[in-house]
């Protein structure tokens, strides 16, 4: 048995290349050269695991308008305009205006530099993609279209690294724009920071928030067979080291709820899930609420992030990090270590198993601190090395922001209480970092992912139209 990741919708990239048609009769060799460059760009884009909608090569405003209509109908996640040589802004402005998607302009000349001794005017024009870039920027701004570009040469890996960031950011935007986000149960009492208006999610990020009842899960738990429960326990034994503290009945219950969670996600076509239910005196709903962590961690590892404590903005932050390939585990502050200059953080809840430093541990818990329930929980340390924190903050006017900070997970002593716990070194005094982080408007949960991701998050924030607040002390 294996834990298979979901296959998300592929990022749809619209491509249009262009140049000024007046050049073609003057320089017969120019157009074939530029078209070859356009084919190379299409080839490299296709290698980025995205679907490329190629609207061809345009030479005048009428052809630009036709390409704009083709790309509008294609419902692309990002439009790339390749400036192969000089072309007028009237050719590409319709593409930018009509598509409804963010536009990225590429200025990639054929090689690193011209051969000045042998080049004539026709050869020079193939290197002239930079010439229209300021014109496009001015025209886009005056037309109310956000401007972004990448300049380099055709096989410039630095330029392609930046292009890949924009494609990844477009994939995140698409995941939010097309996403269905489950919100199950009710608010954790007293946590004013985690309350999120679902309408604001759809308004600012796109997508749909599906409000679910605890009974939507309860009825599915009741339908899980003993055979399905045993199979899920067998899967868990492959993925986790099962600690002696795990009570067999609690393990079986967590496995049963896990199977039901999979069905819930499938039935409602969910891309993420935030949940909480208090319950009372061991009744069924409380037992269902206490059985989430195993199944939620398995879902998160499959690319369907699940966050406890009804933390919708955190499940969205986890989704962003997952789609960037960073994982993204449910995290909050635990303690500050001023002797080792690290911040200890984690949670007693859903973990992204793909970023564990070792085989994760399933530990039995007699109580979830501050919450009703008992059962099994996941314990691990995030993989050592560079990491990024991402939270989705919210200001007084309801506007969301992305909040990020880069650090490194380092080895050292950890609590063994059924929590995901990591020691993060931010290269500064832990107290100063904690004050700066807390002052950003982030709530008390966030996603912890691997790698330094601020460059990608900068692109994500741009495409989402959100402010990115980066904490560096």
346 located within any domain: yes
CATH code for position 235: 3.20.14
Distance CA 347, CA 363 (A): 13
> In angstroms, how far apart are the furthest CA atoms of the chain?
86
Residues 6+ apart with CB under 8 A from 155: none
Same domain, 117 and 235: no
pLDDT of 282: 80
318 located within any domain: yes
Same domain, 129 and 247: no
For residue 445, the SS3 value is: coil
pLDDT of 99: 86
Q: What is the DSSP letter of 118?
A: T
pLDDT of 19: 98
C-alpha closest to that of 52 among 85, 77, 84: 77
Q: How far is CA 4 from CA 7, 235, 298, in A?
A: 9, 12, 10
Q: Counting Cβ atoms within 10 Å, is residue 282 exposed (0-12), middle (13-18) or buried (19+)?
A: exposed
pLDDT of 374: 65
6 located within any domain: no
2 located within any domain: no
pLDDT less than 70: residues of the chain: 1-2, 366-374
Residues 6+ apart with CB under 8 A from 423: 337, 340, 342, 343, 344, 381, 409, 410, 411, 412, 414
Kindly report the backbone phi and psi dihedral angles of residue 300, in degrees, each rounded to the nearest multiple of 5, phi listed first.
-60, -40
Same domain, 249 and 105: no
437 located within any domain: yes
Same domain, 170 and 183: no
Measure the CA angle with vertex 444, ends 414 and 342; round to 5°.
35
How many domains is the chain built from?
2
The domain boundary, picked from 153, 176, 199, lies at: 176
Same domain, 211 and 88: no
Alpha-helical (H) ranges within 178-247 are 198-205, 214-222, 226-239
Residue position matching structure tokens 């099994």: 376
60 located within any domain: yes
Contact, 61 vs 139, CB < 8 A?
A: no
Q: What order do you get walking across the sheet with 50-58 strand by strand?
A: 50-58, 11-18, 78-83, 103-109, 149-153
Measure the CA angle with vertex 203, ends 202 and 209; round to 5°.
15
pLDDT of 370: 52
Same domain, 186 and 131: no
Same domain, 15 and 97: yes
CATH code for position 110: 3.40.50.10940
Same domain, 153 and 184: no
Distance CA 278, CA 288 (A): 10
pLDDT of 379: 87
DSSP per position, 300-322: HHTT--EESTT-HHHHHHHHHHH
104 located within any domain: yes
5 located within any domain: no
The domain boundary, picked from 146, 176, 206, lies at: 176
Helix axes 312-323, 157-177, angle to 10 degrees: 150
Same domain, 132 and 184: no
Same domain, 119 and 231: no
Same domain, 38 and 95: yes
Q: How far is CA 217 from CA 184, 294, 297, 369, in A?
A: 9, 15, 16, 23
Same domain, 61 and 201: no
pTM over 0.85: yes
Where in the sequence is the domain holding 386, given as residue range(s)?
179-470
The domain boundary, picked from 120, 142, 176, lies at: 176
């Amino acid at each position: 048995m294996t834990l298979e990741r979901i296959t998300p919708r592929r990022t749809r990239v619209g491509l249009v290349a262009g140049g000024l048609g007046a050049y073609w009769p003057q320089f017969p060799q120019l157009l074939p050269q530029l078209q070859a460059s356009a084919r190379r760009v299409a080839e490299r884009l296709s290698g980025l695991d995205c679907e490329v909608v190629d609207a061809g090569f345009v030479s005048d405003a009428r052809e630009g308008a036709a390409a704009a209509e083709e790309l509008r109908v294609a419902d692309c996640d990002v439009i790339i305009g390749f400036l192969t040589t000089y072309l007028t802004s009237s050719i590409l402005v319709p593409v930018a205006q009509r598509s409804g998607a963010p536009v990225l302009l590429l200025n990639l000349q054929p090689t690193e530099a011209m051969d000045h001794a042998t080049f004539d005017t026709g050869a020079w024009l193939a290197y002239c993609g930079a010439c229209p870039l300021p014109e496009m920027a001015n025209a886009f701004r005056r037309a109310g279209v956000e401007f972004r570009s990448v300049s380099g040469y055709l096989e410039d890996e630095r330029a392609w690294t930046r292009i890949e960031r924009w494609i990844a950011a477009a994939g995140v935007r698409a995941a939010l724009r097309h996403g269905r986000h489950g919100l199950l149960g009710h608010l954790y009492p007293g946590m004013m920071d985690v309350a999120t208006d679902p309408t604001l999610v759809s308004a600012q990020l796109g997508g749909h928030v599906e409000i679910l009842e605890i009974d939507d899960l309860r009825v599915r738990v009741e339908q899980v067979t003993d055979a399905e429960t045993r199979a899920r326990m067998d899967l868990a034994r492959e993925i986790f080291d099962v600690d002696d503290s795990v009570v067999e009945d609690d393990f079986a219950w967590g496995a049963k709820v896990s199977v039901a969670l999979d069905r819930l996600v499938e039935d409602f076509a969910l891309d993420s899930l935030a949940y909480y239910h208090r319950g009372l005196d061991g009744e069924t709903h409380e037992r269902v609420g206490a059985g989430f962590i195993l199944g939620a961690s398995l879902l998160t590892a499959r690319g369907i992030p699940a966050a406890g404590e009804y933390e919708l903005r955190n499940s969205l932050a986890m989704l962003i990090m997952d789609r960037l390939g960073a994982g993204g585990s449910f995290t909050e502050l635990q303690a500050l270590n001023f002797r080792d200059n690290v911040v200890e953080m984690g949670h007693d809840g859903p973990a992204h198993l793909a970023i564990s430093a070792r085989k994760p541990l399933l530990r039995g818990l007699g109580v979830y601190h501050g919450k009703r329930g008992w059962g099994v929980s996941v314990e691990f340390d995030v993989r050592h090395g560079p990491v990024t924190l991402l939270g989705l903050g919210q200001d007084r006017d309801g506007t969301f922001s992305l909040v990020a900070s880069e650090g490194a997970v380092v080895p050292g002593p950890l609590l063994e209480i059924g929590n995901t716990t990591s020691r993060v070194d931010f290269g500064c005094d832990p107290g100063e970092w904690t004050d700066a982080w807390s002052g950003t408007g982030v709530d008390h949960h966030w996603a912890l992912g691997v790698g330094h991701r601020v460059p990608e998050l900068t692109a994500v924030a741009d495409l989402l139209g959100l402010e990115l607040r980066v904490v560096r002390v």
